[in-house]
C-alpha cells in the first residue's frame, strides 16, 4: 500500500505521459462507483480519483497520521463529526417529524455520556477530527449536555464545538454552555410570523426561539447562524424579510433546500423551493456578490456578500447544487451508529463493539472501514435513490 502523499508507480508513469492500462482513463466516478463496497481494512486509497476535501499530509513524518485519518476511496478526509444526542424534540416541524406516533429510542439504546466522550476522544485523538457538532432531535433536551461540552472541550487537541438547536431553552443555557466550552450555535427558524411558525412546527414557541437567539448573541456564541427552510405555499415569500431581519440582528442566515428526509416520505423535487428560487427572491431587494470557492472551503453553504458586505447570506443546496465532492463529515447517531452521509441507507455499529469490550484502536478501525465505503454522492438524482429509513430527527442534522 502506497502511503498518502507518496505517488504510486502508476501515478509516476502517468507523469511521464504514459497511462497505466490498469488505471481508468476517466477520473469521474461512474454510477457503479457510488455503490462500491468498502475495501478490506488496511489503509487509505493509493491514489484519490476525486479532488480531496483537504490536502493530505505529504511529509514522511505525517504519513502515519494520514493513514489514521477517516479517508474514503475518493480521497476525501472527514474532519467534521456530527453527534446526535437524542431523537426527541419539543417541536414537530412538518418536514422533519410527524405530529405523533414516533417510536423513540429507549434509554438503554442511547449512548451514555461516557460512551459519547470516549468515541469523540477516539475521533479527535486517533482519527483527525477537528470539528464537533452536537445535534438531535433537540440536543438541549439531553440531560448532562453541559458536562458533555465541558469534557469534549478538555480534549487535546481541542476540537471546535458547535450546537444545532431549535433555540428553545437557549435563553437560560447559552452562557452556561459558553463557559463549558461551546464555541457557536446554529438555530433553526423558518419564519418571522408566529402563526406560520405554529403551522410549521405545530407548537406555539416562536418567542422562545427569538429569545434564545438573542441570548446566544449576547453570550458571544458567534457567528450565530440561523437555518431556514422554505416551504411552498407556507413561508416561501419570506426570504427577503428573513434576510433583512438577520442583517439587523447580526445573524448569519442560511437557507436550506428541503431534503428527502421527511417521515411521511412525501417529498417531491418538482414542488420544492430551490436555491435558484431563493436567490431570485433575495435579488429583488438586495445586491448579492458570491464569495469564491477558496472562501467556502468544504462548507456546505455557498455564501454571498449582501449589498457589498459585511453581512452575508448562505444557501445549502443539497438537492440542486450538491457539495458531495468536498464533503468532510462523519456522523454518529444517538444509538451509536456511524453514518457516512445524511442519505446513507447503511450504518456501522460502534455501540455494540464498544459495549462488547472493543479497544480504542478496534473502534477506530471500525470507523475507518465505515468511512472507506462512503459513496461518491448522495444520489438524490439517481433513479434508484432510496430515502433513508430514519427521518432527519433520528439521524441528526
pLDDT at res. 335? 96
Inter-residue contact 214 to 256 (CB < 8 Å): no
pLDDT at res. 151? 99
pLDDT at res. 356? 98
What is the pLDDT averaged over residues 13-35? 36
User: Which structural domain, as residue segments, surrounds residue 123?
Assistant: 78-328+378-395
- List the single range of 130-144, 200-214, 370-384 with lowest mean pLDDT: 370-384
CA pseudo-torsion sign 270, 272, 276, 280: positive
pLDDT at res. 342? 82
> Does residue 38 carry a pLDDT above 60?
no
Asked whether residue 16 is domain-assigned, the answer is no
Highest average pLDDT, of 110-119, 196-205, 338-347, comes from 110-119
Residue 297 binned pLDDT confidence (cut-offs 50, 70, 90): low
Inter-residue contact 95 to 258 (CB < 8 Å): yes
Asked whether residue 208 is domain-assigned, the answer is yes
pLDDT at res. 60? 42
What is the pLDDT averaged over residues 371-375? 92
Q: Which residues of 78-109 are buried (b: 16+ CB within 10 A; e: fewer)?
A: bbbbbbbbbbbbbbbbbbbbeeeebeebeeee
* CATH code for the domain of 268: 3.20.20.70
Asked whether residue 287 is domain-assigned, the answer is yes
Greatest CA separation found in the chain?
Answer: 67
Inter-residue contact 181 to 152 (CB < 8 Å): yes
- List the single range of 60-64, 255-259, 270-274 with lowest mean pLDDT: 60-64
User: For the residues of 278-320, what is the DSSP string, one character each?
Assistant: HHHHHTTT--EEEPPHHHHTT-S-EEEEETTSS-EEEEE-TTT
Distance, in Å, from the CA atom of 82 to the CA atom of 66, rounded to the nearest integer, reads 21
Asked whether residue 150 is domain-assigned, the answer is yes
pTM of the model: 0.81
Q: 301-324 pLDDT, tens per residue?
A: 899 999 999 999 999 998 888 888
Q: Into how many domains does the chain fold?
A: 1
> Does residue 12 carry a pLDDT above 50?
no
Asked whether residue 351 is domain-assigned, the answer is no
Q: Cell 465532492 appears where?
A: 325
Q: 192-244 pLDDT, tens per residue?
A: 999 999 999 999 999 999 999 999 999 999 999 999 999 999 999 999 999 99
Asked whether residue 30 is domain-assigned, the answer is no
- CA dist 257 to 14, 134, 272, 274, 282, Å? 41, 21, 8, 6, 15
pLDDT at res. 39? 43
Residues whose CB is less than 8 angstroms from the CB of residue 144 and which lie 6 or more positions away in sequence, other chains included: 113
Residue 19 binned pLDDT confidence (cut-offs 50, 70, 90): very low
Asked whether residue 137 is domain-assigned, the answer is yes
pLDDT at res. 44? 37
Number of CB atoms found within 10 A of residue 127's CB: 22
What is the pLDDT averaged over residues 319-341? 91
Asked whether residue 52 is domain-assigned, the answer is no
Amino acid at each position: 500500500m502506497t502511503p498518502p502523499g507518496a505517488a504510486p508507480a502508476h501515478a509516476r508513469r502517468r507523469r511521464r505521459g504514459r497511462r497505466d492500462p490498469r488505471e481508468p482513463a476517466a477520473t469521474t466516478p461512474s454510477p457503479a462507483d457510488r455503490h462500491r463496497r468498502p475495501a478490506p481494512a488496511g489503509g487509505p486509497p493509493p491514489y484519490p480519483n476525486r479532488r480531496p476535501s483537504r490536502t493530505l499530509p505529504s511529509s514522511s513524518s505525517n504519513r502515519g497520521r494520514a493513514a489514521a485519518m477517516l479517508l474514503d476511496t475518493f480521497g476525501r478526509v472527514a474532519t467534521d463529526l456530527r453527534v446526535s444526542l437524542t431523537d426527541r424534540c419539543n417541536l414537530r416541524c412538518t418536514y422533519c417529524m410527524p405530529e405523533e406516533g414516533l417510536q423513540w429510542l429507549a434509554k438503554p439504546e442511547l449512548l451514555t455520556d461516557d460512551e459519547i466522550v470516549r468515541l469523540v476522544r477516539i475521533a479527535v485523538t486517533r482519527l483527525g477530527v477537528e470539528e464537533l457538532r452536537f445535534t438531535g432531535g433537540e440536543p438541549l433536551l439531553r440531560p448532562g449536555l453541559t458536562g458533555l461540552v465541558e469534557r469534549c472541550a478538555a480534549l487535546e487537541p481541542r476540537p471546535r464545538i458547535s450546537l444545532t438547536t431549535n433555540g428553545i431553552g437557549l435563553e437560560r443555557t447559552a452562557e452556561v454552555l459558553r463557559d463549558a466550552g461551546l464555541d457557536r450555535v446554529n438555530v433553526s427558524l423558518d419564519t418571522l410570523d408566529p402563526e406560520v411558525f405554529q403551522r410549521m412546527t405545530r407548537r406555539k414557541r416562536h418567542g422562545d426561539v427569538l429569545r434564545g437567539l438573542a441570548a446566544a448573541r449576547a453570550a458571544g456564541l458567534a457567528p450565530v447562524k440561523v437555518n431556514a427552510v422554505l416551504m411552498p405555499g407556507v413561508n416561501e415569500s419570506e426570504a427577503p424579510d428573513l434576510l433583512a431581519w438577520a442583517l439587523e440582528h447580526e445573524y448569519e442566515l442560511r437557507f436550506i433546500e428541503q431534503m428527502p428526509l421527511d417521515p411521511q416520505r412525501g417529498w417531491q423535487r418538482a414542488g420544492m423551493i430551490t436555491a435558484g428560487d431563493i436567490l431570485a427572491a433575495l435579488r429583488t431587494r438586495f445586491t448579492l456578490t458570491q464569495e469564491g470557492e477558496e472562501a467556502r472551503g468544504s462548507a456546505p453553504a455557498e455564501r454571498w456578500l449582501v449589498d457589498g458586505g459585511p453581512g452575508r447570506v448562505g444557501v445549502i443546496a443539497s438537492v440542486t447544487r450538491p457539495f458531495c465532492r468536498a464533503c468532510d463529515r462523519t456522523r454518529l447517531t444517538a444509538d451509536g451508529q456511524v453514518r457516512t452521509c445524511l442519505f446513507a441507507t447503511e450504518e456501522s455499529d460502534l455501540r455494540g463493539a464498544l459495549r462488547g469490550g472493543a479497544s480504542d484502536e478496534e473502534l477506530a478501525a471500525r470507523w475507518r472501514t465505515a468511512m472507506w465505503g462512503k459513496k461518491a454522492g448522495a444520489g438524490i438524482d439517481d433513479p434508484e435513490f432510496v430515502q433513508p429509513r430514519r427521518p432527519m430527527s433520528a439521524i441528526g442534522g
